[in-house]
Structure 1
Amino acid sequence: MAAPAAERHAPSFQLGPQRVIQMDGSTLVRVGARPSLLQYVRDIWTFRHFLRYDAHARTSSQNNLDSMGRVWMVLNPILQAAVYFFIFGYILETHRDVVNFIGYLIIGVLTFRFISGAVTSGSNSIANNQQVVQAFNFPRACLPISATVRELFATVPTFFVMAVLVYFIGDYQVGDMERAEIVFNWKWLMFFPAIFLALLVMTGFSLILARLVSNFNDVKHIITIGTRLWFYASAVIFSVERFADVGHDWIITVMYFNPAFCVLDIIRDAWLYDGLGDPFRWIVLASWGVGSLVIGLIIFWRGEETYGRER
């Protein structure tokens, strides 16, 4: 009787004069092999515990060499906001036409720091973990997703401090700054769905950019410049309405479709002006969140077999 095909082709090894061991390689999977898209999503879900553990572990290890440790995770963005207030708000007077400018600036600077940090970390996640990619078989999308989630975990203390600062000094009046009383109520909870949608957007962007940086390392320098332009295109330190006074309505239109601006505007409206956010902002942000995540996952998945190759 003829032997089955799997047995005929299985490699065998002679160990001594009487012992033969056969190895069946039919269940082995090539490292980095690309499965179907549906299976890829299932594999990512299987590694969800790794994502959470990796994000927590790397967040805990940040600033371990500094004597003040995690204090810098909160102190850095606060000092950055103070610098922007002094230069732009006080000297260049970008506070005009902005009610509760201090709170407006705090929300803008600290929230955008999370947005830019998530994109930057996610885009470099494959390039900075080449040895892991080459050695282990797992869905590579776990790395940019984990980097984005890690940035969220690292920013939680900052968000807490941001809420405290906005409530206590957000309506503080300096010079001729306009102010309105800040009311703490359930509308502040709009922060959570806004940040969740922002996380989806950042994850989608990270997946796309991680593939680009993996193939072309120079892209990371363009990302640095791009995030700086994005900062000024998101009305972080000034009101978008100031462009209407000089006839640049097209800039306003671009900002209204900017997901980062939508996040900031929703949080500001809830925390500073007792609102729920413009419905159009929610629609734009949700569209960016779902669209960028789906498109980013497909683009990244198609390049699954290219990650980890020597260049």
Structure 2
Amino acid sequence: MPTAAEQTDAAALARRYGLSKSSVRPPLGAYLHELWSRRQFVVSYAAARTYAMYAGARLGSIWQVLTPLLNAAVYYLAFGVLLGTKNGIDNYVAFLLSGIFVFTFTQRCMTEGSRSLALNLSLIRTLHFPRATLPLAYVLNELNQMLVSLGILFVVVGFTDGPAWRWLLVVPAMLLQVMFNIGITLVFARIGTFVSDITQLLPFVTRTWLYASGIFFSLPAKLHQIDAPGWVVQVLAFNPISAYIDIIRRSLLDEHEPNQLPHAWSIAIVWSFVMLAAGFLYFWQAEDRYGRG
């Protein structure tokens, strides 16, 4: 057992040669710089996860296209045909696909991100690196899938409505959702590390969110149909997923114009910057606790 004097001498020697404890949380600026220096790892890790996801399937990466299409087909049959939500909505296929793709992007970032640290404890305990690289890699992996889904959506809208200059608005719309997804993924990555039960709870949370986000029907039109008070539309408009779905639909579908949620672009921008900043700070504050015990 080292004496107090020996501990003091060791600490002074460490400071002299610029050594520090590996478990100490770095300052925010240094953390961001180190995170940027690991960007190649984030890209490589995301690519490896994408490959591993379909490596054992006979059709391989073709499932990147088939999965969103099959999901859309199920929802179209259940809601569009059996429940009749397609009535009164022009180009319902593109309307439905845009809602499903946008929601699934955020949903999978949350659920996969909540396990991103717990599934990589051996890596965390072995190597020193910014822990945020792992949730970011999961977001990038889901972004790859979202880009494939967007390609499908462009084809559908191109055949049904024809191309238009407003499609360019998809780029800032997607950038805003990526910012939001990074923030919310970092939040659930920290929660999932210390509260393992969150992975069991998330499917119920996201399923409720799914039905409240106007994916299968136009929220303003549905609320007007049931004669809901105007303030209800305003409150539901603050749902970030509803805002992201709406700005994507505005960018692609001319028929969606009459059914816009109020101030969707402004709400999407605010949610993106607030969630990105809050999520990053929330995750960084526990940097020195990840992988312990």
| Superposition TM-score, scaled by structure 2 size | 0.88
Alignment-mate amino acid for residue 93 of structure 1 = G
Alignment-mate amino acid for residue 77 of structure 2 = F
Offset, 1:273: 0.7
Spell out, residue by residue over 1:141-183, the C-alpha distance to the aligned partner (whole angstroms, 9 max, x if none).
Answer: 11111111111013322221121123224xxxxxxxxxxxx24
Mark the CA change 1:262 to 1:23 in structure 2 (over 3 Å): closer, same or farther.
closer
- Of Structure 1 and Structure 2, the greater helix share is in 2
Match of 2:170 in 1: 191
Contact 1:119 1:203 (C-alpha < 8 Å) held by counterparts: no
Distance 2:23 2:156 in 1: 47
Which structure has the larger Rg over C-alpha atoms? 1
Match of 2:76 in 1: 85
Mark the CA change 1:23 to 1:192 in structure 2 (over 3 Å): closer, same or farther.
closer
- Structure 2 regions of 5+ residues with no counterpart? none
Within the candidate set 231, 241, 248, 2:228 is matched to 248
Contact 1:118 1:151 (C-alpha < 8 Å) held by counterparts: yes
Match of 1:287 in 2: 270
* Residue 71, structure 1, aligned to residue 62, structure 2: yes
Within the candidate set 46, 50, 55, 1:59 is matched to 50
Offset, 1:82: 1.0
Match of 2:207 in 1: 228
* Residue 106, structure 1, aligned to residue 97, structure 2: yes
Distance 1:81 1:254 in 2: 27
Match of 1:301 in 2: 284
Distance 2:43 2:77 in 1: 38
Mark the CA change 1:73 to 1:141 in structure 2 (over 3 Å): closer, same or farther.
same
Contact 2:234 2:262 (C-alpha < 8 Å) held by counterparts: no
Within the candidate set 82, 86, 98, 1:95 is matched to 86
Contact 2:113 2:135 (C-alpha < 8 Å) held by counterparts: yes
Alignment-mate amino acid for residue 168 of structure 1 = F
Mark the CA change 1:48 to 1:116 in structure 2 (over 3 Å): closer, same or farther.
same
Spell out, residue by residue over 1:179-210, the C-alpha distance to the aligned partner (whole angstroms, 9 max, x if none).
Answer: xxx24122111111111110110110011111
Alignment-mate amino acid for residue 290 of structure 1 = F
Distance 1:231 1:275 in 2: 20
Distance 2:15 2:176 in 1: 47
Offset, 1:274: 7.1
Sequence identity (%)? 32
Contact 1:106 1:166 (C-alpha < 8 Å) held by counterparts: no
CA RMSD in angstroms, aligned pairs only: 2.5
Alignment-mate amino acid for residue 263 of structure 1 = Y
Within the candidate set 112, 135, 138, 1:144 is matched to 135
Mark the CA change 1:85 to 1:65 in structure 2 (over 3 Å): closer, same or farther.
same
Offset, 1:9: 3.8
Alignment-mate amino acid for residue 42 of structure 1 = H
Distance 1:206 1:75 in 2: 25
Offset, 1:94: 0.8
Distance 2:100 2:292 in 1: 38
Alignment-mate amino acid for residue 209 of structure 1 = F
Distance 1:270 1:278 in 2: 14
Offset, 1:44: 1.1
Contact 1:44 1:139 (C-alpha < 8 Å) held by counterparts: yes
Offset, 1:136: 1.0
* Residue 115, structure 1, aligned to residue 106, structure 2: yes
Within the candidate set 262, 282, 298, 2:243 is matched to 262
Number of residue pairs aligned between Structure 1 and Structure 2: 283
Spell out, residue by residue over 1:65-94, the C-alpha distance to the aligned partner (whole angstroms, 9 max, x if none).
Answer: 000001111101101111111111111101
